[in-house]
Amino acid sequence: MQRTKIKVLIIRAGGTNRDFDVYACLKGLGVSARIKRINDTELRSDLLSYHALIFPGGFAYGDYVRAGAILGKKVMSTLWDEILKFRKERRPILGICNGFQVLVEASLLPGTLGKNGVPEAALASNSSGRFECRWVTLKKKQASKCIFTKQLKEIARFPVAHGEGRFIMSDARALEKLEENGQIALVYSAPDGTPANGRYPLNPNGSSLDIAGICDPSGTIFGLMPHPENAFFGYQLPDWSFNRKFPLYGDGYGIFESMIEYIETEVLR
């Protein structure tokens, strides 16, 4: 099957700034991609014509109230029925950085839709008290159900760029359940893959259990704070200018390729 038949929608709002970065990754994989604003009058009617949905990074609506809060509630108020159908049909939904915050605020992550639409988790201000913009090392959790990490290397490097990325939940038992359910997909680590154990700057924001990304119980909704779209091409890597044989693709390629392979084998079967 030609990959151009795969349709992926990127949703943006005022303040989103990584939408074209994600678009470039999808076009690099030969996929048909489109960017639409959340207030596009045609969005609700044609959302279900797409095979995957992505909420990219940035500062949607200026991150007033909380990061991702306004866009998250706007998704719930305008697209909820369509999003739930996406979820039921196990079409992949990806949230990157601000997009991860949106998915949490919309109660799509951790994935039980919360109680009365109240988020079960939060992405709080970084423990450092500052905006963190740096490259980090990530370790893939082998027991995770996440369909987005199947083709990802066990140890990967992505950049982070956020002020509110500290993943927290209401109690320790809730975190344990994420681990037991295989919902923790990526954790911050040392370059050799050993646990960060909360150490700064290996864990750049103070996230509980070093969490960098989680999925819902089905594995088809995934949110992460690091930016795979900014580690997709080899020339985006921090050491590319010192390496004449830098690879065509960086580690972020694995996230998007995993999503497309899942669509080919599961959504379009």
Question: Could you confirm whether 25 is annotated as catalytic?
Answer: no
Strand ranges (DSSP E) for 100-154?
A: 121-124, 132-140
Query: Which of 25, 97, 146, 215 does the annotation list as catalytic?
Result: 97
Query: Which of 105, 132, 164, 229 does the annotation list as catalytic?
Result: 229
What's the CA gap between 62 and 14, in Å, rounded?
8
Question: Could you confirm whether 51 is annotated as catalytic?
Answer: no
Diameter of the chain by CA atoms?
Answer: 54
Compute how many other C-beta atoms are within 10 angstroms of the C-beta atom of residue 32. 16
201: closest CA among 240, 160, 239? 160
Question: Could you confirm whether 266 is annotated as catalytic?
Answer: no
What's the CA gap between 112 and 2, in Å, rounded?
35
Query: Which of 25, 215, 227, 257 does the annotation list as catalytic?
Result: 227
CA atoms within 13 A on the CB side of 60: 31
Q: How far is CA 70 from CA 12, 14, 15, 74, 102, in A?
A: 12, 11, 12, 6, 8
Phi, psi of 120 (to 5 degrees): -90, -15
Task: Indicate which residues carry an active-site annotation.
Answer: 97, 227, 229
